[in-house]
Amino acid sequence: MSQNTDRKRILLCLAHMSGEEMKYIQEAFDTNWVVPLGPNVNAFENDLENFVNTTTGGNTLNKKVIALSAGTAAVHLGLVALGVKAGDEVICQSFTFAASANPVVYQGATPVFVDSEPGTWNMDPNLLEDAIKDRIAKTGKKPKAIIPVYLYGMPAYIDEIMEIAQRYDIPVLEDAAEGFGSNYRGQTCGTFGSYGVMSFNGNKMITTSGGGALICPNDEAKKRILFFATQAREPFPYYQHEHIGYNYRMSNICAGIGRGQMTIAADHIAHHHHVAGFYADAFKDIEGIDLHVAPKDYMDPNYWLCTVTVDPKAFGIDYEQLRQILDAAAIESRPLWKPMHMQPIYKNAPAYVNGVSEALFKIGLCLPSGPCVTDDDLNYIVDTIANARK
Ligand SMILES: *Cc1c(COP(=O)(O)O)cnc(C)c1O
């Protein structure tokens, strides 16, 4: 039996430090920049810009990045930048974490959910177009924005999504919170649309303890976001406000952690790939367990969380029974995101569904994938799964 209470619990994706973080934090204290701006914030933004501005086909991107207090704040400010207001509709991938959709409601707008296609588990381009046409027919106006998501770091069919978005002239806000370092045809996920969201929460690819960033098209857009992220203060000697602003800027301490993390970002991504490769090899021999992998060779996921589907007929037990066995063996696993159109808070929101995300939700599990997961852990996890088969 795989029960082993002496073993340290293996978690999905635990934060992992480079050792450089304290140096930058110490610098912030030494220079008294213990505020939501400062040298670490500027340097971290610079690191992020270098990271996302990939070169493909001889073209180097020139996106700007603004560091914020959370990925959720980045989604919110992206919507503010796109002029989303009360009464508007915003199309959002249904198969995601609530933070992709909740800021639509902060703006008084209505999310319209679109289901996934089975290859990437991300927004189904055909269903997206159906939804756009139907919203225009029903409401007489176009949705104000489209939010595709890179779920578990898997690239979406972004070329197809962008083609539809451009044809209907609707801006795209990419939620790449889980897709840090994922590429599509050699270009970083989060750089295809008007704006792109990054997250540095404790369990993401890199962390600032809590934090996020918004990828912006140019300096002008970045300045505009900065204005809204710092309480929308007009340039007066006193406090003058002509717009509703937010307190969403990243602190100089958190940015210090981010700078340290950027020194090992490539190692983290390589490790997640190693873990995915390990699982892929192991699960070839375990009938009923399928690793979710990129459906196309031009998609390069970061494998933030490796996910599997459990076929209860072939495997003998279902995903929830397997989750409990893993839990008893001190291995954390978790069901997939419950689709937004199935959530009580969104029961009245329009939804265009095809059954894909609901079916996946009933068979899928996330497995430990983070930088602290060792080969010894992986052997133990795979053995525990193999022994759970009935
Ligand atoms: C984590 C996450 C966010 C929000 O990021 P925070 O930094 O936690 O606010 C948004 N969207 C998705 C898909 C996420 O996984």
Ligand 1 mean position, distance from CA 97 (Å): 7
Q: Which atom of ligand 1 is nearest to the CA of 201?
A: 7
Residues 10-41: pLDDT tens digits?
999 999 999 999 999 999 999 999 988 899 99
Residue 2 inside a domain? The answer is no
Q: What percent of the chain has pLDDT over 90?
A: 95
- Residues 302, 181 contacting (CB under 8 angstroms): yes
Q: What's the confidence (pLDDT) of residue 58?
A: 86
Q: What's the confidence (pLDDT) of residue 1?
A: 47
Ligand 1 mean position, distance from CA 50 (Å): 22
Pair (260, 270) in one structural domain: no
Pair (66, 153) in one structural domain: yes
Residue 92 inside a domain? The answer is yes
pLDDT-derived band of residue 3, with 50, 70 and 90 as boundaries? low
Q: Is residue 2's pLDDT more than 60?
A: no
Residue 7 inside a domain? The answer is no
Nearest residue by C-alpha to atom 6 in ligand 1: 71
Ligand 1 mean position, distance from CA 204 (Å): 9
Residue 15 inside a domain? The answer is no
Q: Which atom of ligand 1 is nearest to the CA of 100?
A: 11
Ligand 1 mean position, distance from CA 178 (Å): 7
Ligand 1 mean position, distance from CA 177 (Å): 5
Q: What's the confidence (pLDDT) of residue 56?
A: 84
Pair (33, 166) in one structural domain: yes
Average pLDDT over residues 56-76: 95
Q: What is the chain's mean pLDDT, rounded?
A: 96
**Which CATH number do you get for residue 372?**
3.90.1150.10
Average pLDDT over residues 245-273: 97
Best residue among 79, 93, 94, 100 to mutate for probing ligand 1, ranked by most atoms within 8 Å of CB: 100
Pair (314, 294) in one structural domain: yes
Total tally of structural domains belonging to the chain: 2
Residue 196 inside a domain? The answer is yes
Q: Which atom of ligand 1 is nearest to the CA of 212?
A: 7
- The parent domain of residue 124 ranges over 21-264
Q: Which atom of ligand 1 is nearest to the CA of 204?
A: 1
Q: What's the confidence (pLDDT) of residue 4?
A: 54
Average pLDDT over residues 89-118: 98
Which of 3, 7, 68, 18 has the alpha carbon at shortest distance from 371? 18
Ligand 1 mean position, distance from CA 339 (Å): 15
Q: Which atom of ligand 1 is nearest to the CA of 73?
A: 9
- Residues 38, 28 contacting (CB under 8 angstroms): yes
Pair (74, 212) in one structural domain: yes
Best residue among 199, 304, 336 to mutate for probing ligand 1, ranked by most atoms within 8 Å of CB: 199
Best residue among 106, 175, 207, 254 to mutate for probing ligand 1, ranked by most atoms within 8 Å of CB: 175
Best residue among 147, 150, 178, 206 to mutate for probing ligand 1, ranked by most atoms within 8 Å of CB: 178
Q: What's the confidence (pLDDT) of residue 254?
A: 97
- Among 241, 264, 287, give the residue marking a domain's end: 264
Ligand 1 mean position, distance from CA 70 (Å): 8
Pair (183, 170) in one structural domain: yes
Q: Which atom of ligand 1 is nearest to the CA of 75?
A: 10
Pair (297, 347) in one structural domain: yes
**Which CATH number do you get for residue 197?**
3.40.640.10
Pair (169, 312) in one structural domain: no
Residues 104-163: pLDDT tens digits?
999 999 999 999 999 999 999 999 999 999 999 999 999 999 999 999 999 999 999 999
Residues 348-372: pLDDT tens digits?
999 999 999 999 999 999 999 999 9
Pair (225, 323) in one structural domain: no
- Among 239, 264, 289, give the residue marking a domain's end: 264
Residue 14 inside a domain? The answer is no
Residue 152 inside a domain? The answer is yes
What's the CA gap between 55 and 40, in Å, rounded? 26
Residues 332-352: pLDDT tens digits?
999 999 999 999 999 999 999
Pair (226, 285) in one structural domain: no
Average pLDDT over residues 84-92: 98
Ligand 1 mean position, distance from CA 184 (Å): 20
Ligand 1 is surrounded, with C-beta below 6 A, by 70-72, 96-97, 99-100, 149, 175, 177-178, 199, 201, 212
3-state helix/strand/coil string of the chain: CCCCCCCCCECCCCCCCCCCHHHHHHHHHHCCCCCCCCHHHHHHHHHHHHHHCCEECCEECCCEEEEECCHHHHHHHHHHHCCCCCCCEEEEECCCCHHHCHHHHHCCCEEEEECECCCCCCECHHHHHHHHHHHHHHHCCCCCEEECECHHHCCCCHHHHHHHHHHCCCCEEEECCCCCCCEECCEECCCCCCEEEEECCCCCCCCCCCCEEEEECCHHHHHHHHHHHECCECCCCCCCECCCCCECECCHHHHHHHHHHHCCHHHHHHHHHHHHHHHHHHHCCCCCEEECCCCCCCEECCCCCEEEEECHHHHCCCHHHHHHHHHHCCECCEECCCCHHHCHHHCCCCEECCCHHHHHHCCEEEECCCCCCCHHHHHHHHHHHHHHCC
Ligand 1 mean position, distance from CA 73 (Å): 9
Best residue among 13, 93, 97, 182 to mutate for probing ligand 1, ranked by most atoms within 8 Å of CB: 97
Pair (123, 227) in one structural domain: yes
Q: What's the confidence (pLDDT) of residue 5?
A: 58
Which of 168, 154, 196 has the alpha carbon at shortest distance from 304? 154
Which of 150, 202, 212 has the alpha carbon at shortest distance from 181? 150
Residues 231-242: pLDDT tens digits?
999 999 999 999
Burial class (CB in 10 A: 0-12, 13-18, 19+), 41: buried
Pair (255, 293) in one structural domain: no
Tell me, yes or no, if the pTM score tops 0.85: yes
Nearest residue by C-alpha to atom 13 in ligand 1: 97
Q: What's the confidence (pLDDT) of residue 138?
A: 98
Ligand 1 mean position, distance from CA 390 (Å): 36
The token pair at 26 is 């110490």
- Residues 116, 150 contacting (CB under 8 angstroms): no
Structure-token match 């022994």, residue found: 387
Average pLDDT over residues 268-281: 97
Q: Is residue 92's pLDDT more than 60?
A: yes
- Among 244, 264, 284, give the residue marking a domain's end: 264
Residue 137 inside a domain? The answer is yes
